[in-house]
Amino acid sequence: MTSRSAIVLAAGEGRRLRPLTTNRPKPMLSAGPKPILEHVFDELIDAGVTDIAVVVGYRRNRVQSHFGPAYRNVPLTYVVQEKQLGSGHALLAAEPEVDGSTLVVYGDQLIDQRIVRDVASTHDSVATLGLVQQADVTEYGGVLIDDGSRVTDLIENPHDDREYYLNAGVYALEPEIFDAIRTTTPRAGEHSLVEALSTLVEDGAPVRGVVSDGVWVDATYPWDLLEIADDLFAADGVASQIAPTATVHADATIVEPVVVEPDCVVGPGAVVGPNVCLGENATVGANAVVEHSVVDADVRIGANATLTDCVTGRGVTIGPGSTVVGGPGDVEIGTRVHRDEPLGAVLADRVRDEGGVTYRPGTIVGADAVLRAGSTVDGAIENDTEVRA
């Protein structure tokens, strides 16, 4: 395809990542440590895309205020999906921005430019899907192709023993996709892009898949953000990235790999790493220990605190001597309990811990919660909750 334009679908919340998504959409969650959506933009631009339309909806101001009218000199056009009624509905909102072939990607999954290039370079049909090999596709979308790379079936959350490829959410599409979305019966009131592609397949339209060796990572649950950071460290092959404006005390210890963003402060005797991302303006107090954690911007970690397998939102305060002991733990997401997940704790935006707090493995603390000194917390704690010792 000759098109250098792309549509990025970034309107959803990411409900299974609550409470991290209380104040921002999933695409704006930190992933080592810049937002997931910023990684997506980087890969599109590095693959040669020169014009991007972004479909926004839930907490859209967080996307627009962060990126503004352009990113890396590539213009961004914002399209608003007023109600989040599915990926197909989101794409319909962007129809006025489409003239001919276009790339479409999800803004809440990490992809690399190899998938984008593979899809764009092989596109010669109504739709081309980027596929990757993955041992287990049961949590995602599975795709079957024949010997000629023609798509024969698309199944969400497949559980049979057929050999599926994983749908990486990178598409090259012709304008026919819009009529397919409109004519496909919505499920539970939502228009699905995958269902529309299935309609094209059933109607005999040429829909093809290209298998890529590019990287694909999705953050479905909070602990996946730790895995994303691990994957980014492994992919980048960079031991440490410490911003010039960060201050690391001479008596602190950095255990590679780490990312330390601008204006961070690491105090004397502190140990940071391995596999730690410190967001902009984060502070690690004297003799604190932070390992295998994603710490967002404006976080304050008190003296002698310990964080292991921890994910924080913005503006969190962790008091002196508090301890996140690390996973595995049982994590409560909605009505489901996930057993033995590699998570110490999730602290959503502006959690305030007064010190000496102990977090049992798998704890999730909602936004603006206050944890009084000396308390022990576990399970799921709602937003705006006060926990006393």
Question: Parallel, antiparallel, or unpaired for β 323-324 and 165-173?
Answer: unpaired
Asked if residue 240 and residue 138 are part of one domain, the reply reads: no
Q: Which among 178, 195, 218 is the end of a domain?
A: 218
Q: Report d(CA 107, CA 91) in Å as an integer.
A: 12
Give the three-state DSSP class for 330: strand
Q: Are residues 195 and 274 in the same domain?
A: no
Cα 250 versus chain centre, distance? 34
- How far apart are alpha carbons 259 and 275 in whole angstroms? 8
Q: How far does Cα 306 stand from its chain's mean position?
A: 25
Mean pLDDT of 219-247: 82
User: Which of 218, 242, 272 finishes a domain?
Assistant: 218
Q: Which one-letter amino acid corresponds to residue 129?
A: L
Q: For residue 273, is pLDDT > 90?
A: no
Whether the per-residue pLDDT at 7 is higher than 90: the answer is yes
Question: Which pLDDT belongs to residue 239?
Answer: 62
Q: How confident is the model at residue 140 (pLDDT cuts 50, 70, 90)?
A: confident
Give the pLDDT band (50/70/90) at residue 237: low
Which of 178, 201, 218 is the last residue in one of the domains? 218
Find the CATH number of the domain harbouring 310: 2.160.10.10
Query: Is residue 109 located within the same domain as residue 157?
Result: yes
Kindly state whether residues 271 and 204 are assigned to the same domain: no
**Cα gap 220→130, rounded to integer Å:** 19
Element (DSSP H or E) covering residue 312: strand 310-312
Please, which pLDDT band fits residue 158 given cuts at 50, 70 and 90? confident
Q: What is the pLDDT of residue 160?
A: 84
Total count of domains within the chain: 2
Region of poorest pLDDT, from 35-49, 186-200, 255-269 = 186-200
| Cβ count within 10 A of residue 256 | 14
Mean pLDDT of 61-83: 93
Per-residue model confidence (pLDDT) at position 236: 59
Write down the residue that tokens 């990312």 correspond to: 259
Only one residue has tokens 């899809």, namely 119
Residues 57, 190: one domain? Answer: yes
Higher pLDDT, 229 or 376: 376
185 — pLDDT class (breaks 50, 70, 90): confident
Percent of the chain with pLDDT over 90: 66
Computed over every residue of the chain, the mean pLDDT equals: 91
Q: What is the pLDDT of residue 287?
A: 97
Statement to judge: residues 211 and 266 lie in one domain: no
In whole angstroms, give the CA distance from residue 304 to residue 361.
19
Give residue 234's domain range.
224-387
Residue 2 confidence (pLDDT): 55
The structure's pTM equals 0.87
pLDDT of the residue at 387: 93
Residue 245 corresponds to which amino acid? Answer: T
Residue 89 CA to residue 293 CA, distance in Å, equals 36
Nearest-angstrom CA–CA distance, 19 and 40: 23
* Other residues' Cβ atoms within 10 Å of the Cβ of residue 174: 19
Look at 74-83, 262-271, 329-338, 367-376 and tell me which has the smallest mean pLDDT.
329-338
Residue 119 is predicted with a pLDDT of: 94
Is pLDDT at 100 greater than 60 in this prediction?
Answer: yes
190 and 231 together in one domain: no
Is residue 365 domain-shared with residue 343, that is, in the same domain?
Answer: yes
Element (H, E) at 150: none
Q: How far apart, in whole angstroms, are the C-alpha atoms of residue 150 and residue 336?
A: 37
Question: What's CA 144's distance to the chain center, in Å?
Answer: 26
Closest to 207 (Cα-Cα) out of 128, 154, 91: 128
Mention every residue, 6+ apart, whose C-beta is less than 8 A from residue 93.
Answer: 55, 79, 80, 81
DSSP character at residue 292:
S
Measured CA to CA, the distance from residue 214 to residue 169 in angstroms comes to 12
Contact 90, 196 (CB under 8 A): no
Mean pLDDT of 316-341: 90
CATH number of the domain where residue 199 is located: 3.90.550.10
Whole-angstrom distance, CA of residue 94 vs CA of residue 204? 25
Cα 327 from Cα 361, distance rounded (Å): 5
Q: Are residues 155 and 178 in the same domain?
A: yes
Count the neighbouring beta carbons within 10 Å of the beta carbon of residue 50: 13
Across the range 20-41, mean pLDDT stands at 89
187 in the same domain as 70: yes
State the pLDDT confidence band at 1, using cuts at 50, 70 and 90: low
Residue 50 confidence class, pLDDT cut points 50, 70, 90: very high
Collapse the DSSP code of 80 into the 3-class scheme (helix H, G, I; strand E, B; otherwise coil) and give the result: strand
C-beta of residue 32 within 8 angstroms of C-beta of residue 5: no
* Helices 36-46 & 60-67 angle (0-180, nearest 10): 50
- Domain co-membership, 242 together with 345: yes
Q: What is the mean pLDDT of residues 109-137?
A: 90
Same domain, 291 and 204: no
Structure confidence at residue 215 (pLDDT): 84
Enclosing H/E stretch for 306: strand 306-308
